[in-house]
Structure formats: structure tokens, C-alpha cells
Structure 1
Amino acid sequence: MGNFTQLPAELQIQIFDYLHAADVKSARAVSRTFRNNATPALFRSIVACARYQALGAFQNVSLHSIYSGYVREIIFDGTLYDGHLAKDHRNYSRAEEASGKFQSGSFYAMRTRWKRYQELHKEQESMKEDGVLLQSCARGLENMQNISSIVYSPYQHTIPMEVKTLRDLLPRGAIPGTLSDNRTTGSDHPFRQLIGAVFLSDYTGIRQLTIEAPREDHPRTELSLDMFSFPDTNDLNAGKHLFRNLVKLDMSLSILNIQSQTTHPMTEIDPPDRQLENLAKVLEAAQELRHLSFGILNWSYLNRLMWDGSNIPEGRSIIDFIGLGATWPKLRSLKLEGLYARERDLCELINRHKDTLRAITFARCTLCAGLWLEVVNEVVFNASMIATFELDHVNEQTARSLNTIHSFNPDLGYEGRLVVTKDGEREFVRSSPVLESNLFC
């Protein structure tokens, strides 16, 4: 402890930033110095969401003369209360029983919990329409001028003042193993209002956007392609405004599946190809981008939606449609996961960025045409600035029809990495005993 207290305040503040909130709170009680140096860690991230209690806490921090300056990141809790459960107490009761986490009790107790859940769902729905979330986020950005990062989280982030209210309620988002209308974000999801708030406040300080990947064993609301339905011109402008200043983008995107097509019906103005077109436009706007990690979840469903012989013109690939046909003049690292592409698309992508790229990874990607051998050769022989290159469970599809693809088999594929010797020799080395192919012959 004595050595720690002798550290400069700047170092103490950085160290406290790595501790859990409970530990930081304990440290604040040690001394006035610790309180002053530990406090910034408590307010480094702030939660935004469509819940009145949490939004009230957001507003209080944004209006605080000191704490507002500590905030560096907005974490948007994307989980939502389920309309199916809020509509009927019998649905809620069945969900409680299916979860196995609630002790059997009286009908009155269950109904009391359901009524509380119903009220919270009602608040959530009203916040989608009354503009409170949009305006609160916009004013918050005006007051918290040090925010540089936005995180969309598909998981619950319950703030302390909500714990008592939510302690015995079903979690928000889709509960694993159950059908839910909150598995993916709809086109009216509240996260759109945070994006709108960045545009409304003309805030240009966001340098990093993270769309967290969901885990199958957690209640969640995945960010889906529906978020790129832009019925109004300002929707596209708001998206471009956010992406235009990004230096780092880490995006895991859930492509609409069969269930979500029923839950969030398509309209004539936002079919999948239009949503993909909008995604491509905002990605192209990110001309300051240096680090890009882009992953598609449930990519097999994209085949069913797009590859029906009419939606994709001859000669174009899904790479074009999701925006990876763009050029980012400052790009230094690239990771692509879950893509279905042609060899030439990936080679062209590498070639366009070979003067700036230093690291590239392809994970769980499938070539619908061509060989990974050619992609490897492009990196090894034609992109000498790339020092880190990895293939992580990639494979090749020989069938012509994309409709034959249903899922990615991680046990079949190629793995390997680039090795650069002290003399500058470059060699691609197989790293695991996976499927034999021309790639390693």
C-alpha cells in the first residue's frame, strides 16, 4: 500500500480503471486521495437505455459539474422487455416455469411480478415514441464532451438503483431456448435514438464503435440488419455522421433469420438488399478507419434472403453488398468473420489496402468460388507490409448453389498463419491438423 500511495495521481487513476466497481468503491473509502483518484474509474462508462430509472441516472451524471468530465464511453443496453410476456400473465407464468429459476409460489405473487414487468414494458414502448431518450442523450453528449466510445451491448446492464425493482423479474431480451420477439433488434429499436442523438447534437468525438457479439447461453437482444432500415433521409445522414469519425469499428451483425422475419415484418421500403445498401453507405463513410473487425452472425440465413436468383446482379458478391468493397485509406488492421465470399473479392480487398494494412485475419469464412491458396499468395507475395496474417477455420464451398449451405462446420476447414523470419522470408505455416487441401500441398 505504501508503494502505491507514492505513485503519481495519473498512474493511480489508470490502475483504478482496471478494477471492478465494487473494489473501486472500497478504495474510495480509504482516504481522500484515493477517493479523488478512484472516482474517475466509476464514471468512465455510463449506461444508456429505454428505462426511466437508468435514464435518470444518465441525466444526473451528465449534469454533474465534475463527474460529467470523467465519462469516456456510453454503453447502450440493447435488451428489451418482451411484448409477448407483457401482454398476458399466462405467457409470463409459463416463461418463469421454463426458466427454472423461480420458486413455485402463489398466483398472486406471480401476477404481482407480471404487473411490474408489464409496467416496465409500457415505459419502454413509450420511450420509443416520446423523444425523451433522444433528447436526453443529445443533451448528455453536449455536457459530456470527453466521450469517445459507444458500445452496443446485447446483454442486461442493471444499474444499482434498479436492482430492487428487477431482482425477481424475468430478464430482458431473448431467454435461451425460448421463442422471443426480442432475439434481434427491430427497425424501431431505441439504439437508433442514440445514433440520432449524436447527429442531433452534432457530436464529432466518437472514435470507437463496438457492437458486442452475443453468447448463446445469455439472455440477449442481438443487433440485426433491421437497424439499417432508413425510411427517412436523416436516418442515413445520422449513420454517416457517426461512422465518419470512427477510428475503430468492431461490429457483430445478426442477419435476419426466419423468426425475425415474422417478428419484424418487411416493408416495401426496407427489404434486405436495401438494408445492406444502407450498411454499405455508412461503412464507406468511415474514411478515418484504422481498425476494422466485422462479423456476420447467422450468415446462412442471408443466403435464403438474398440469393434467390433475383436480388444480387450477376458479377456482384455479398462483399459488395455489405460495404466491404470500399477503400479505407488509413486501414491498418482487418478481421472478417462469418463471410461467404469469392476468392477474387478478398484478393481485391487485400490489394486495395496493401500499403497500409499490417494485420489481417479471416475467421470462419467460406469461399464460394476460388481457393484460399490464392488469398494466401496475395498476402505472402504481394502485400509485404502485412506482418500478421491468420486463417482461423476457413473453408471452401464446392457446390454452386448457395441454398445448399445451412451452417458452418468448424471441424472442416483450414488454419494457419504467416511467419516472417529474421531475414524477411515470408511463409504461411499450417497450424492445426485440419482438412487436407491444395492450400497446404
Structure 2
Amino acid sequence: MSTLIVSLPAAPAQPGPSLAYAYTLTADGHTALQHGTAAAPLLPAPARPGGEVVAVVPVQALSWQRVQLPAGVGLAGLSGALPAGMGSAAARLRKVLEGLLEDRLLDEPAQLHFAVAPDAAAAARAGAPLWVAVCERAWLRAHLQALEAAGRAVARVVPEFAPGATASGAAEVHVLGSPEDPWLVICGHGAEQSVLALPLSPESWHQWAMPALGGAPGGAVAVDGGAPVLAEPAVAALAEKLLGAPVTLHTASARALAAARGRWDLAQFDLASTAHTRLVRKLGGAANALWHAPQWRAARWGAGVLAAAQLLGLNAWAWQERHALAAKEAAVRAALTASFPQVKVVVDAPAQMERELELLRQRAGAVSARDFEPMLAAVAAALPPGQLPTAIEYSLGELHLRGLAPGADEQTALRTRLAAAGYDCRLEDGALIVRAAKTP
């Protein structure tokens, strides 16, 4: 499953014919197959069936709030598993968040979109505070509707940066944007590992970035011992000037790939998708990771080798079985032609051998189990006392006896005795039909 990652423009930019979205197309979630900018109708479609579209909300558009939920607030369906629409549980949670955040927000809560952290349910059960992402609802909904109208319906909405531990375990400094509008972003900031985003300036750099990198505010920093500074190419020179050392280049496309691999999904509450869509999305994401992700390469090779070994083993076993069956058939044909040299063409060796044996018996005047006398003797020995047939017919190894009316128990005993003598029997139309049992 391939993924189209669309980076939304920062608010207050609204959708329109002239608005271009930055995008990244990937097959495994780690490597970009294609990236660039295009209007919504011109965005490439995911290459494989079942591919998903992921929207990335820029860091400038999000506000991160830390809240403590009151006891007794229902948490079923948190973090992307909320029911589609505003059900009673989701509406109640939305009202609780509005009350908790009302005094911290500049806009009216009704105009904002909320999303809780993926581990919100576990944090609430443990009595710990949880992160809530806040952004402008009308802005987000307008872009999602524009992408859907262009045939690029968004399956997940992820933040460009999210609170929590970074890959290095320390605070990470990002410089992004353009030379005219540079931004400083610090991930894993402070004891709560929050996200700090503010316009880049010498003052903000020395006040926030230098301490995050292990130096004193306004002082020097041990570059070799601190966390790396990741900068977009457009602002790398500015970051190097402020740092006084080279920085690590990190493109917007690579940042979008990292954001799409995160666990966050901002499509909650009134933007939540249905349970079926979420299940398909999760299964598709898991299948995509198993099939394309580099960390699963060894497992894919192992599964391929195992499947190949099983296929080779089955083919070898089938070849041995066919060889053994052919040898047995050849032995039966050899036994037939050795015992009866007059048989020149072998079509069905067992049937032909039985026919030749029958001819030998007839020539020798011997009787077989299919003849009338042995069959009648076996029936006479097996019939219950007092049961005598009123009519007897014989034709081609089959004996018909009429006028018998054995009970259920007597029928069972009759079948058992005749089976021991090598005969099958059945009652049909008031007649007992007896014939020699077929040999395996």
C-alpha cells in the first residue's frame, strides 16, 4: 500500500485554485518516490490499490495543551477510535475538554478542533495528564473537504511535530521555513517533552535553542556533545550562522515521512472516520509495513525462503509419491503378463487378472464365490431360523431371494454373518439381494 502525504499550508491559507500543496509519495513510508507541490486536483494518486492519503498539519497551526481529565469521564474510543459523528460519549468528552481549555485559548472553543493523544486512555487510567492538540476547525475542515473533492480523501491527519520522547532521547532542534519566515521548533522540550515553536531570531535562538543543545542561555554550546540541529536547505545557512557550526540538512519531505509514521491521528470527534474505515486503514498500514518497511526486510526474506523450501519439499514429496505409484503399477502389470502370457495389452491389470482367473476356474470346473451354489449355501447358513425364501433368482453373480421378512435385529445379524462369509446384502423391494463383496 502506497501513501500520499500532503502537507497543509499554515493558517489562515484557505483552499483555492491557485493554492499548491506540498506532497510526498512513498511506497514504504520511509523513502520518497516523488515529492513536489501541486494543486489539489493535480496531486498524484497512491500507486497501489488501498493506498491512503495522509494530511500533515504544520506546527504553526497547532497549539499543544496539557490537561488532567476529571474522574469518571468516559474514554472509550479515544485517539482515532471515536465513533463517526458526535455520539454521546464523544460529545461529553468534547464538552469536558472545552471546559478545561476555555481559559487557556484565545478563540472560542466551539471554533476549534480538539484531538487527544494516542495514549490518552492509558494516561487517564493512570491518573496522569494527557496532551490535547488544538487547531482552527474551519481551516482544517476546508482543506480536508478540498482534498476529498479532488479525489484525494484523507484517511489520517497527523501533526508535523508531536510531544513525546524523540528518537535521540534528548531535545531536538529544527529550523524550517524560508529565509523571509524562518521558524525554530524544539521537540522533547522540558520535563514534559513538549513541542515549542516560535519565529526564529537571534533572541529566540539564544533563549531557547542554546539551552536545549546543552549550553547556557546566550552562551556557548558544546556542539559535539549536544543534539543535532536539523535544518531545511533554505534556512541552513541562517542556522549555521546562529550555531557557529555545520547543521544536518533535513528536508520538508523527510519531515513529512517521519510525521506520517507517527501514532497520532487528529481526525477525531466530528472529523472521525467510521470503524470500518479505521479497521481497513490499520490493516492496510500493517500490510504495507510488512511488505515494504526496511525493518521487516529480514522477516520478508525469511518468509520467502520458508515458502520456497515448503514448495520445493512438496514438489519432491509429490515426485516420490508419483514414482512409488508408477513402480507399483508396473509391478502389477508385470505380474499379470508373467502369470497370463496370452494377455498382450494391459489396460486394467486388476480387472484383467480377475477375468483370467475366472476363466481358469471355469476350465477346471471349480466354483467361485460368485457362483450360485456357494452363494446359496452362505445365505442358508446366515438366515434366521424360520426364514425361508419363496422365490430364488440368480443372474451374473447376484442372488435375489423373495418372501423374507427379517426384523431389524435379524437384518443386522444377517449382514454380519454374510460379511464374514465374503458377501454383501441389502433389502430392496421386498427381496434380499446378495452379491460377493468387492475385494480392496
Please tell me the TM-score bracket, short chain as reference.
under 0.3
| TM-score normalised over the length of structure 1 | 0.21
Q: Report which of the two structures shows the higher radius of gyration computed on alpha carbons.
A: 2
User: In proportion to residue count, which structure has more strand?
Assistant: 2
Q: Which has the higher contact order (CA 8 A, sep 6+)?
A: 2
TM-score by length of 2: 0.21
